[in-house]
């Protein structure tokens, strides 16, 4: 709907004279008119030309106006086009039915061309206003996405954390999130979370969790204590029914001890420098739901060169193939083995391209971290 | 019949209006033919549809007498009665003729 293009109106009426009359009076005012004298033609023109507005006669042989609008509203391509009905003056039921089927207005017949013009004008104005509102909102959402991505730490900013990452958000406000915490010179925290939603609220939650991590993942707290503090605050601030699944991994590269706190998140994969990859499973409540939540805790000794993979369920879950992370995580183990020779910075991307190929896309948000001790 | 007046009433210039009048005459004569055949063969639906079609066009053009007449034709035929149609058809032919010679 730019200024350089004329607004387009599709007029549908089996009465040729009415069509011509509409065409003459609207084109005089600068509109471009497409016309159809039957339902099927109207639908194919609507789909091909995507007019800004449709004037639709109800009483037509074979396929009447009700059938036409029903089909237009069912098709995503044409469903937002405003439709004005042309209807006989006494047909109250028709008018009601028209509105019910999604018409924005009606014009009674016999119509006065000036009335048609006035109604077309009003509804185009309304539709322009609605569209620009939607575009404003989409632009704001895109800013949120940018802000959200800007909050995610990049590997080159944290060289001592020795990690690589693949991150992809499907919607404007993604539900997946990760953070890296330099707790001390040799201690690093890695946090991956997936929130129960993909809306704006979720993206504000990301900012809150990031702040909470910075406040609570400090040397004086054990990893379990950090997570407990974060959980208790989230219980207070999250809207009803919202929660996170999260995994917090804490590596001390001096004592070579690793701690994993799991809050309802898929299991971490360990690829030891020597040996087969395995899952580190631990049961635990989700984060942000219960103030007395109990998280799974695992402590293990690690060696230099051991690798750990933390990911969100989008990696191992496929709604289409009905795979959940309980079974999906196991089936992926052989792939980790093939990544041994790949530098940790490149491993996540390599894993995704092995899993999804280069042109199919994951069905959900995905975050995948590869961390080397 | 004052075409200039009718044209300005619906917001068209004379030239556009005359083009529509010609179209009106053509479509109305063809509908009138269908009405005659429909009455002869007692095909009520055809009579209803063609009366409706003329009514719609006449209403929009501002041909009020034809509109009133065909409205009556539509409602009577819808109710199943064609008995007054010989007179109606004659009346309609005269009125279309009047437009043609205008």
pLDDT digits (tens, 9 = 90+) for A288-317: 888 888 898 999 999 999 999 998 887 776
| Interior/surface letters A317-354, b for 16+ CB within 10 angstroms, e for the rest | beeeeeeebeebbeebeeebeebeeeebeebbebbbee
How far is A31 from A37, CA to CA, in rounded Å? 19
- Distance from the A114 Cα atom to the nearest Cα atom in chain B, whole angstroms: 7
Take residue A196 and report the two structure tokens written for it.
Answer: 């129960």
- Distance from the A58 Cα atom to the nearest Cα atom in chain B, whole angstroms: 12
How far is A354 from A332, CA to CA, in rounded Å? 11
Residue A148 domain flag: no
- A29 & A115 share domain: yes
* DSSP state, residue B5: H
CATH code for the domain of A47: 3.40.50.2300
Q: Quick one: pLDDT at residue A199?
A: 59
More confident residue, A279 or A200: A279
Q: Quick one: pLDDT at residue A233?
A: 82
Range of the domain at B90: 24-101
Confidence of residue A333 (pLDDT cuts 50, 70, 90): confident
In contact, A255 and A373? CB cutoff 8 Å: no
Residue B9 domain flag: no
Check pLDDT > 60 for residue A127.
yes
Check pLDDT > 90 for residue B2.
no
Residue B69 domain flag: yes
- Distance from the A25 Cα atom to the nearest Cα atom in chain B, whole angstroms: 7
Read off the pLDDT of each residue in B68-90 and give the average, rounded to a whole number: 95
Check pLDDT > 90 for residue A89.
no
Q: Which residues of B touch A21 (CB under 8 A)?
A: 10, 20, 60-61
The residues that bridge with A88 in the sheet, in sequence order, are A109
Q: Which residues of A touch B19 (CB under 8 A)?
A: 20, 24
Q: B73 and chain A: CB distance < 8 Å anywhere?
A: no
CATH code for the domain of B52: 1.20.120.160
- A273 & A368 share domain: yes
Q: Quick one: pLDDT at residue B97?
A: 92
- A71 & A186 share domain: no
More confident residue, B36 or A239: B36
Q: Quick one: pLDDT at residue A110?
A: 84
Residue A1 domain flag: no
* Mean pLDDT of the residues in chain A: 85
Least Cα distance to A256 among A213, A289, A300, A298 occurs for A300
Q: Quick one: pLDDT at residue A2?
A: 44
How far is A188 from A250, CA to CA, in rounded Å? 6
Check residue A264 and give left, alpha or beta (phi > 0: left; psi -120 to 50: alpha).
left
Residue B18 domain flag: no
pTM of the model: 0.55
Read off the pLDDT of each residue in B51-75 and give the average, rounded to a whole number: 94
Check pLDDT > 80 for residue A321.
no
Take residue A271 and report the two structure tokens written for it.
Answer: 């690829």
**Are the beta carbons of B11 and A15 separated by less than 8 Å?**
no
CATH code for the domain of A216: 3.60.40.10
**Residue whose entry in the numeric block shows the structure tokens 């109990």:** A294
Read off the pLDDT of each residue in A262-268 and give the average, rounded to a whole number: 91
**Are the beta carbons of A113 and B16 separated by less than 8 Å?**
no
Check pLDDT > 80 for residue A287.
yes
Residue A2 domain flag: no
Residue B29 domain flag: yes
Q: A90 and chain B: CB distance < 8 Å anywhere?
A: no
Q: Quick one: pLDDT at residue A325?
A: 57
Name the most confidently modeled range: A216-220, A229-233, A308-312: A308-312
- H or E stretch including A93? helix A92-100
Read off the pLDDT of each residue in A313-322 and give the average, rounded to a whole number: 63
More confident residue, A3 or A67: A67
Residue A3 domain flag: no
**Are the beta carbons of A16 and B27 separated by less than 8 Å?**
yes
| A8-12, A261-265, A323-327: the lowest-pLDDT one | A323-327
- CB within 8 A of B26, min separation 6: which ones? none
Nearest CA in chain A to B18: A21
Out of B27, B49, B52, the one facing A17 most closely (by C-beta) is B27
How far is A16 from A56, CA to CA, in rounded Å? 13
Q: Quick one: pLDDT at residue B38?
A: 96
- A118 & A193 share domain: no
Residue B5 domain flag: no
- A12 & A104 share domain: yes
What is the tally of structural domains in chain B? 1
Question: How large a percentage of chain A has pLDDT more than 90?
Answer: 38
Q: A21 and chain B: CB distance < 8 Å anywhere?
A: yes
* Among candidate residues A102, A121, A142, the one where a domain is terminated: A142
- Distance from the B87 Cα atom to the nearest Cα atom in chain A, whole angstroms: 25
Q: Quick one: pLDDT at residue B90?
A: 96
Confidence of residue A87 (pLDDT cuts 50, 70, 90): confident
Q: Quick one: pLDDT at residue A4?
A: 58
Q: Quick one: pLDDT at residue A63?
A: 94
Q: 53-72 in B: which are within 8 Å (CB) of A?
A: 53, 56-61, 67
- A97 & A205 share domain: no
Read off the pLDDT of each residue in A222-234 and give the average, rounded to a whole number: 87
Nearest CA in chain B to A21: B20
Residue A147 domain flag: no
Read off the pLDDT of each residue in A257-267 and give the average, rounded to a whole number: 92
Confidence of residue A362 (pLDDT cuts 50, 70, 90): low
Check pLDDT > 70 for residue A174.
no
Residue B7 domain flag: no
Check pLDDT > 50 for residue A319.
no
Least Cα distance to A38 among A56, A21, A52 occurs for A56
Name the E strands within chain A: 8-12, 32-36, 53-57, 83-88, 105-109, 163-168, 176-182, 187-195, 244-252, 257-263, 268-271, 278-280, 296-301, 307-311, 366-372
Out of A14, A20, A110, the one facing B59 most closely (by C-beta) is A110
**Are the beta carbons of A24 and B27 separated by less than 8 Å?**
no
What is the tally of structural domains in chain A? 2
Read off the pLDDT of each residue in B4-18 and give the average, rounded to a whole number: 88
Collapsing DSSP to helix, strand or coil, A117 comes out as: helix
- Distance from the A99 Cα atom to the nearest Cα atom in chain B, whole angstroms: 22
How far is A107 from A89, CA to CA, in rounded Å? 9
Range of the domain at A194: 153-372
In contact, B99 and B63? CB cutoff 8 Å: yes
Read off the pLDDT of each residue in A223-243 and give the average, rounded to a whole number: 83
Q: Quick one: pLDDT at residue A32?
A: 95
More confident residue, A143 or A368: A368
Residue A87 domain flag: yes
Out of B10, B12, B56, the one facing A15 most closely (by C-beta) is B56
Name the most confidently modeled range: A43-47, A145-149, A180-184, A331-335: A43-47
- A183 & A303 share domain: yes
- Distance from the A109 Cα atom to the nearest Cα atom in chain B, whole angstroms: 7
Read off the pLDDT of each residue in A173-186 and give the average, rounded to a whole number: 83
Residue B14 domain flag: no
Confidence of residue A243 (pLDDT cuts 50, 70, 90): confident
Q: B24 and chain A: CB distance < 8 Å anywhere?
A: yes
Q: Quick one: pLDDT at residue A1?
A: 45
Q: Which residues of A touch B56 (CB under 8 A)?
A: 15, 17-18, 109-110
Read off the pLDDT of each residue in A47-62 and give the average, rounded to a whole number: 92
């Amino acid at each position: 709907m730019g200024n350089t293009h004329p607004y387009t109106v599709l007029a549908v009426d089996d009465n040729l004279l009415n069509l011509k009359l509409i065409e003459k009076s609207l084109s005089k005012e600068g509109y471009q008119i497409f016309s159809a004298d039957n339902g099927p033609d109207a639908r194919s023109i609507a789909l091909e030309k995507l007019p800004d507005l449709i004037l639709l006669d109800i009483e037509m042989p074979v396929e009447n106006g009700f059938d036409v609008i029903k089909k237009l509203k069912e098709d995503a391509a044409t469903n937002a086009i405003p439709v004005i009905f042309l209807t006989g003056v006494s047909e109250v039921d028709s008018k009601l039915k028209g509105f019910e089927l999604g018409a924005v207005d009606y014009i009674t017949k016999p119509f006065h061309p000036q009335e048609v013009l006035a109604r077309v004008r009003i509804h185009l104005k309304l539709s322009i206003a609605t569209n620009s509102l939607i575009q404003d909102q989409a632009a704001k959402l895109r800013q949120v996405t940018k802000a959200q991505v800007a909050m995610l730490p990049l590997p080159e900013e944290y060289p001592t954390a020795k990690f690589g990452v693949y991150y992809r958000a499907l919607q404007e406000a993604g539900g997946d999130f990760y953070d890296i915490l330099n707790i001390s010179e040799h201690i690093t925290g890695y946090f991956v979370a997936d929130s129960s939603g993909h809306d704006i609220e979720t993206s504000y939650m990301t900012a809150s969790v990031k702040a909470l991590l910075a406040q609570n993942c400090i040397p004086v707290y054990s990893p379990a204590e950090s997570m407990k503090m974060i959980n208790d605050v989230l219980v207070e601030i999250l809207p009803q029914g919202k929660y996170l699944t999260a995994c917090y991994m804490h590596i001390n590269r001096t004592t070579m001890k690793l701690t994993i706190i799991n809050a309802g998140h898929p299991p971490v994969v360990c690829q030891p420098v020597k040996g087969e990859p395995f899952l580190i499973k631990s049961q635990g409540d989700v984060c942000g739901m219960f103030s007395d939540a109990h998280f799974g805790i695992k402590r293990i000794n690690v060696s230099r060169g051991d690798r750990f993979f933390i990911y969100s369920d989008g990696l191992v879950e496929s709604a289409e193939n009905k795979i959940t992370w309980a079974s999906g995580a196991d089936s992926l183990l052989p792939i980790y083995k093939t990544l041994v020779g790949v530098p940790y910075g490149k491993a996540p991307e390599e894993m995704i391209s092995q899993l999804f190929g280069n042109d199919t896309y994951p069905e959900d948000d995905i975050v995948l971290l590869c961390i080397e001790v | 019949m004052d075409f200039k007046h009718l044209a300005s009433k619906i917001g068209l210039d004379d030239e556009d209006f005359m083009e529509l009048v010609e179209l009106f005459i053509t479509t109305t004569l063809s509908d009138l033919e269908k009405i005659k055949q429909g009455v002869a063969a007692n095909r009520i639906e055809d009579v209803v549809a063609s009366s409706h079609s003329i009514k719609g066009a006449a209403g929009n053009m501002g041909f009020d007498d034809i509109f009133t007449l065909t409205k009556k034709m539509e409602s009577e035929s819808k109710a199943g009665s064609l008995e007054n149609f010989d007179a109606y058809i004659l009346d309609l032919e005269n009125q279309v003729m009047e437009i043609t010679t205008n």
